[in-house]
Amino acid sequence: MTFDKLINYLKLDKQEFLFQFNSHPNYPSALAFSDTLNFLGVKNDAYQLDKEYWDELPEEFIAIVDNSFSLVKKAGAQYSVYSDKSKTVNKEELHKTSSDFVLLFEKTENSEQKISNYKPFIYAILGIILLYSAINFAWYQILFNLLSLAGVYISLEIFNQKFGNTSAVIGSICGDTSANQTVNSCNKIINQDKTSILGLKFSDFSLIYFIGIAVLGVFLPATGYIIKGFTIVSLIAIGYSIYIQAFVEKTFCRVCLLIISILVVQLILTLFFFENFYFNTNIAILSLLLWGIIFFAVSYFNTILTDKEALQKSNAKNLRFKRNYDLFKRELLEKDKVTFSDNQTFSLGNKDAKLHIAVVSNPYCGFCKGAHEILESLLKKYPNDISAQIRFNYFSDRSNEKSTGLLSDFMNIYKNKHENEFLKVVETWFENRDEKQIKDLVGNNQVEDLSALNAMSHENSNAGLNFTPILIINGFQFPDKYDREDIHYFIDELIEDDEI
């Protein structure tokens, strides 16, 4: 199941999306798809809606078209459908090929994830080599180097695509997958390549070859004889590739044919224009050393990325169990419920919400920063569905002047300003640990009554909540077998669970 066009439109990190989707306990259901979008910041609601009501839907929505999650955009009387491919259909065809499932979504700032991109760096290097060639070489040498750089770029896109990254360049060359085909000719040739030398496929050797040729091309004419020899040897690769496509797979790969064309043109250039070049033993040795370094570098990165992909797949399968809400709920309810008489001191969020989350914390606890960040993010994302409380452990008879003054400042700003400002002050404290800065933010030296905080701390102690931080969900202590950050995976179900 692929939905590259949909992921690109929503500007999501494809690797992150697939990992979260594949690790969902209900994978590959519509619930898993919806929860994954929610987790990545795309708020959505799913419905089973009869087709007669589809005219009332917004301009953009997600539906299951041809058994694939697809983005549907209205365009007059037509509908544009984006999934692993793009197509335009009329209303009758859309209704015929889709189920009654629709998902209405709203893109938020969190969905605009910044995806790490190596391409500007690659473009810069290729541009420098091309500029250097244009200044110093003859036209046929410039053309040769330009073709080498094109080969590097295309081969790098193929290498990158092996590990699940979508390549717009490869997609534009090969075209979209046809309706009755699971893979197109390019995918069939590239991904099903049986060649394996130290774990490298035939397409990987294309990357090694073009990187080597591109580097040697910078040192023309000294390397001309070596380059000429390698372009002649490339005839073996050309013949092997054509044989595989024509007689083994019996289909032609456009991107493979493009690489073959580059090799053929480079061969013609070296045969007819690379003349009066002489063999140099030192340059030959350095050239072999260069290719050896490139070979082992590509092999190393291939091994690292292959292992990483295998670990991600294994981890995704394991996480389906860990993220199973029924298992989480069983662990949550395993311990006795804790009841507090004071739920008002440092109370936040919607006081009437069914789900109450308390953080037992200590201002001088280094590990408490993460717990407060989790609570703040949940309050920001679910302001109407969660009530929360920060339960600082403070004992007047054991505290010094600094801690008393700090908590007095917290109490002051909590009483006199909006809760968002209070949360901001707490965040600033855990970020900088500067009492003077907190005092300046409060703006006065008023000493607050901390008796309620002292009583609340004794409640924590009587319940055995001495070590911080601790998350309490409706009186139940967050299970030790889970990381605190895992609450994000269960929060929607916790909100809907009337039993808890």
Whether 49 shows a pLDDT value over 90: the answer reads no
Question: Which of residues 366 and 182 earns the better pLDDT score?
Answer: 366
Give the end of a domain, one of 61, 81, 111. 111
Q: What does each C-alpha distance from 452 to 101, 392, 495 come to in angstroms?
A: 51, 11, 29
How do residues 52-101 score in pLDDT, each as one tens digit?
Answer: 878 878 888 888 888 888 888 887 778 888 776 778 888 888 888 888 88
What's residue 115's pLDDT?
39
Residues 330-348, mean pLDDT to the nearest whole number: 88
Together in a domain, 393 and 368: yes
Whether 318 shows a pLDDT value over 70: the answer reads no
In a domain, 439, yes or no: yes
In a domain, 169, yes or no: yes
In a domain, 320, yes or no: no
Write b or e for each residue in 165-178: b if 16 or more Cβ atoms lie within 10 A of its Cβ, otherwise e.
ebbeebbebbebbe
In a domain, 343, yes or no: yes
Residues 340-347, mean pLDDT to the nearest whole number: 88
Together in a domain, 72 and 96: yes
Together in a domain, 174 and 246: yes
The percentage of residues in the chain with a pLDDT greater than 70, rounded to a whole number, is: 87
Question: What type of residue is 230?
Answer: F
Domain count, the chain: 3
Which range in 33-42, 130-139, 395-404 is most confidently predicted, on average pLDDT?
130-139
In a domain, 91, yes or no: yes
- Report the CATH number that the domain containing residue 149 is assigned in CATH: 1.20.1440.130
How do residues 222-277 score in pLDDT, each as one tens digit?
Answer: 888 889 989 999 999 899 888 888 887 777 888 888 999 999 999 999 988 887 77
Other C-beta atoms lying within 10 Å of the C-beta of residue 285: 10
What's residue 184's pLDDT?
55
In a domain, 221, yes or no: yes
How do residues 418-435 score in pLDDT, each as one tens digit?
Answer: 888 999 999 999 988 888
What's residue 309's pLDDT?
73
Domain residue limits at 17:
4-111
Together in a domain, 361 and 261: no
What's residue 189's pLDDT?
65
Together in a domain, 357 and 492: yes
What's residue 27's pLDDT?
75
What's residue 201's pLDDT?
80
491 in helix, strand or coil? helix
Using pLDDT thresholds of 50, 70 and 90, give the confidence band for residue 358. Answer: very high
Question: What pTM value is reported for the model?
Answer: 0.54
Spatial separation of the C-alpha atoms in residues 1 and 27, rounded to whole Å? 11
Give the end of a domain, one of 111, 130, 153. 111
Give the end of a domain, one of 315, 343, 366. 315
Question: Which of residues 20 and 236 earns the better pLDDT score?
Answer: 236
What's residue 275's pLDDT?
76
Together in a domain, 480 and 346: yes
CB contact set of 131 (below 8 Å; sequence gap of 6+): none
Q: What does each C-alpha distance from 115 to 13, 118, 138, 166 come to in angstroms?
A: 6, 10, 39, 13
- Report the CATH number that the domain containing residue 54 is assigned in CATH: 3.90.70.10
Handedness of CA 167, 170, 171, 177 (dihedral sign): negative
What's residue 264's pLDDT?
94
H-helix or E-strand spanning residue 23: helix 14-23
Together in a domain, 367 and 422: yes
Together in a domain, 350 and 287: no
Together in a domain, 243 and 286: yes
Residues 472-479, mean pLDDT to the nearest whole number: 92
Together in a domain, 147 and 86: no
Question: Which of residues 49 and 372 earns the better pLDDT score?
Answer: 372
Together in a domain, 143 and 88: no
In a domain, 322, yes or no: no
- Report the CATH number that the domain containing residue 343 is assigned in CATH: 3.40.30.10
In a domain, 49, yes or no: yes
How do residues 113-124 score in pLDDT, each as one tens digit?
Answer: 443 456 677 778
Together in a domain, 123 and 71: no
